[in-house]
Chain A
Amino acid sequence: MTNRVNEIDRQAALWLAKLDRDASASDKAAFEAWLAADIRHRGAYLRAKTVMAHVNRHRFPLRARFKFPQPGTMSRRWMMFGGAGTAIAASLAAAFFLTAPITTPELPVSYATGLGEHRDVHLADGSVMTLDAATKLTVRLTKDRREIALLQGQALFQVAKNKARPFIVSAHGIGVRAVGTRFAVRAVEQQPLRVLVEEGIVRVESDHPLAELTANMRATVSASGTVTSNTVAPQELAQDLAWRDGRLVFRRATLSEAAQEFARYSSTRIVIPDPAIAKLTITGAFDGTNPSGFAMAVAHSLDLAAIPGTHEIRLIRKNS
């Protein structure tokens, strides 16, 4: 069994790598023909994608275990832009920086995700931001500060240690300051700012320090700057961060809160006309990109009817 390579597996691996970048129309046609030629081809290809997804699922612990090749001084500059835009923008920026004198980029760079989209952004200082769906933020890196303005949504920040250059995430007029740590900030409309700390220490501040949070703490910050914090079990923290894997986890959340959360993931809205139903609570983990699946599960467990429409799904009383 040693050294045995399944030929179909080998072809599937080659296709996976080829389609990993923008493939030409003729490549795509050849791929479709290959898929159609034998059911085992499709299976091997799905399996190739599955083992890659398996690696990807462990990406957070893996990031801590392996040393990553760091960008050289030349590519460091455009890495920021590479993350910022399309491949075209990246190559333009690269072309520009290869020919132009390099200056410190002090201009803020914007990053945004659409409905249901997730994105990892690697900053030039080695920090990594994971943006949840429907999130907007800007990054400004200077010699002595790393400033992130979270305009909308939520993101997890894995901060590269650098005492001389504090990492500050601001949202709703509040600053969350870290030196080297991992924490998440959530700034969703009509909800208090929420901060989760996975590792290290962060300080919540407005014009003056408000609170200091340590690992496994969750805090909400009201508009007036009142900080309510408590320590949570690591599993609970992981549930709050389940969005990293595209899952939404609710603990006794009202249906209207859940519907609001799904609205950040899909253009299909969950509509609950009856306020009494909107107040019912649900507990569970759901696929964020599948509001219909959620609505049907809810209908099933709470004895309601889920009525699908074109761009919405309505949760109503049965027989009404």
Chain B
Amino acid sequence: MAESFPYTRAQDNKRPAAAFDRPEPAGSQAQISWLEQNLLPHEREIRAWLRKKRVSDVEIDDIIQETYARIGTLDDLSVITSPKHYAFQVAHSILLNHLRRRAIVSITAEGDLDTLGVACDQASPEEEVAQREELTRVVDTIATLPQRTREVLLLRRVAGLSQRETADRLAIAEKTVEKHLARAALILMNQFGRGIKARERNRPDISDSND
């Protein structure tokens, strides 16, 4: 989000991991919030960059997942002064590891080491437009969810009801709420960052069982 507010330089773009968070199985609130503000907005660009390097879609998914894991488990995110550059670097080092593992080193990928082309975190005009359009994107994505899935997502994540309350409000079982929530999460994971358009979006079946 573009902020007109003058941050102090020392805090600019930093969302340090809180040392006081309740223990979470994976991802404290501070870490997730950092990822949401500093990695998710660049994910699309990282994917496009990997695609240009002729990395396959499946492998791009692997690299993105690993990037989230590497960055999301850092104790102190406040040391990262340039999140976008850092995300590209992490993705790049993971790509190199993958290439090494395959023992086939692509010249294109290696040759690019110093030309990441993302030296600064200044938002490009395209990015600024993208940020402004983000709310529209979120709205569109939610609007195209199957009705029940949308209702569950709205009540649970937008209105802030508990899973129990959501189940009662919709007069459905908690297990059904869980299923719809999982489906919503999967659809959003496919949409955000990956940039699949709503129209061509799949409605993935979250479980093998029928309703």
Contacts and interface: CB of A to CB of B under 8 A. Distances in A.
A272 interface: no
B68 A46 contact: yes
Given A56-B158, A66-B154, A69-B151, A9 B164 contact: no
Contacts of B11: 284-286, 297
B32 A90 contact: no
B5 A239 contact: yes
Contact of A39 (B39, B57, B66): B66
A293 B5 contact: no
14 contacts: A2-B200, A2-B201, A3-B202, A4-B57, A10-B206, A44-B65, A47-B64, A59-B157, A94-B168, A284-B10, A285-B5, A287-B30, A290-B20, A293-B18
In order of increasing CB-CB distance, the 7 nearest A-B pairs are: A43-B69, A43-B65, A17-B182, A120-B160, A284-B8, A293-B16, A43-B68
A6 B196 CA distance: 13
A13 interface: yes
Given A9-B61, A82-B165, A49 B159 contact: no
B6 interface: yes
Contacts of A56: 157-158
A57 B160 CA distance: 12
Interface residues on A, range: 35 or more
Interface stretch (B21-29, B106-114, B115-123): B21-29
Contacts of B192: 51, 54
B75 interface: no
Contacts of B164: 21, 82, 87, 90-91
Contacts of B8: 282-284, 297, 301
A189 to B, nearest CB: 22
Interface string B137-166: 011001100000011011111111111110
Contacts of A78: 168
B78 interface: yes
